[in-house]
Structures are given as structure tokens and as C-alpha cells.
Amino acid sequence: MEIPERLRWTERNPAGRAWLATLPDRLTECVERWKLRVDPPFAYAFASLAMPAKLPDGTPAVLKLQYPDDDSVHEATALAHWAGRGAIRLLAHDAERRALLVERCVPGTPLHRLPPEAALDVAVGLLPRLWVPAGPPFTPLAEEAAGWAERLPAKWERLNRPFERRLLDAALGLLAGLVPSQGEQVLVNQDLHAGNVLAATREPWLVIDPKPLVGEREFGAVPLVRGPELGDSPAALRHRLDRLSAELGLDRDRVRGWAVVHTLAWSIGEDEVFPHQVETVRRLLDMA
């Protein structure tokens, strides 16, 4: 089986290697169950094996075999909850195999191919459609944030304090104020960056690959603010923060605070640090 280069990080740890070993059988079982024809996997997938597929009637689809992380465990439930409104449709789901069969976006051009201002226009129209009331089984943002607060200091120490203490202290301080003072709880997607919004035919743009939580709207804008896809500079970062906060009616300080917290939480893994994300935290903290 061909494994995309971006998915080869799974070869570096025992859990990843065990997952890779199961893929051929899982793929065969899903192809047989849903009577699919599949092509080689998409090169961009990072946390799943995602393959173009066709249903028996020729309808284009995507078969996803997920890496069994916690962030994506409710991806299928989120897609079903949105029911195609602003997001791809869920066609079938096998929870035991962590397999999803979903609508394929055609032509599938990512949002970041647009000029940044046009891409932000799309985001301003799309995000409110996704912020719908939700509850269990989705993880509350408050619960997820408690995990960040517990794990971040331990990881920071274990990896020999890879960035200045002020960043860690700032994130923990912001968390203490943000978590108990949240607004209305809606379905938010902590991985909604400009590479996970694709051009389609059923709707002009559709969200893929959600990592859902239930939290306030201010958190829902964070991935597009902090992601470098629409401009990798302090000025571009500030502009996204200002424009999305203003046009979506969000509290700018809370969006910025959640962006600091979430970026730092995702900047440090079990055995590595992502320097660009750490630099993004510095930029956000320098903004008034």
C-alpha cells in the first residue's frame, strides 16, 4: 500500500506502526462492504489515509481510514450534525474500523488558493452556518482546555523547556480566565484552517476533516486566525484577527486569547516542538 509522505510520521512510534499494519485489511474490508473503486491516496492527508473512491453508481466519494486519535473521534458525528450545510456530507461510517465514506469536493481547490481577502469573505459567510447548538457526545471546550492546562507544563519540562517560560505562563493565565466565562456553546471545529475548506459543486465551498468541540464562537475563529495559509506575517495575522472578530461580531480579546492557548497547545507534541507555531504565539502576545 502506498503511504503518503505526510503520513509517514506514523512510522516513528509503535502505535503508528501498529495502525499502519492494520490498513491493508481495513481497506479491503471497506472496499468490499461499500462496493467501492479506489484510487491512490491524496498526498495532503496528515492524520488519515484518504483515498478518492467511486460508489457503485459512479458517484465520486472519499474513503477515510482515520488514525485513532482523540481529536477526530467525533468527526463523523459532526458531519452528520451539519447534514451537508457548509460541510461535506457523511455517506457512511464504520466506527469500529474508524472508517468514513464522505462526499468528494469537486474540483477540490483549497480556500488558500484565493487571494487572502476573498478567502476571508468566504470564511465570514461560512463560519456562522457551522456554529449550531450541540451537546454530547462532543467534547466540551472546557474539558479539552483542562487537558491542555495539565499536559502543557509537563511536556514543556520533558522536552527541556523548548521555549521561554513567559509563553507557557501567558497561555495558562489566559485559560484560567477564558474557560469559565464562555458565551453560548455551539459546535466549533478546532482544525478549520484554509486548507480544510475546499471548492465544490453542491455548494461553492465545503469544510472537510473537522475536529469538533462544543465551545463559544470566539474559539471557532481561531484556526483561521492563527493558520499561516492566508499570509505568514505579523501584519497578516493581525488583519485576520481584526477582520474576523469585527465582521463576525466576536470579542477580539477572547479570539486572541484562545488563539494563544490553542496555538501553544498544538505547538508541542509528545516528542517534538513546532517552531513556527511557537513564533505565532509570540506574535499574538505582542499584539495589543
Please confirm, yes or no, whether 57 is among the known catalytic residues: no
The Cα–Cα gap between 28 and 18 comes to 17
Q: Which residue among the candidates 69, 71, 191, 251 is catalytic per the annotation? A: 191
- Please state the separation of Cα 256 from the chain's center in Å: 18
* Active-site residue list: 191
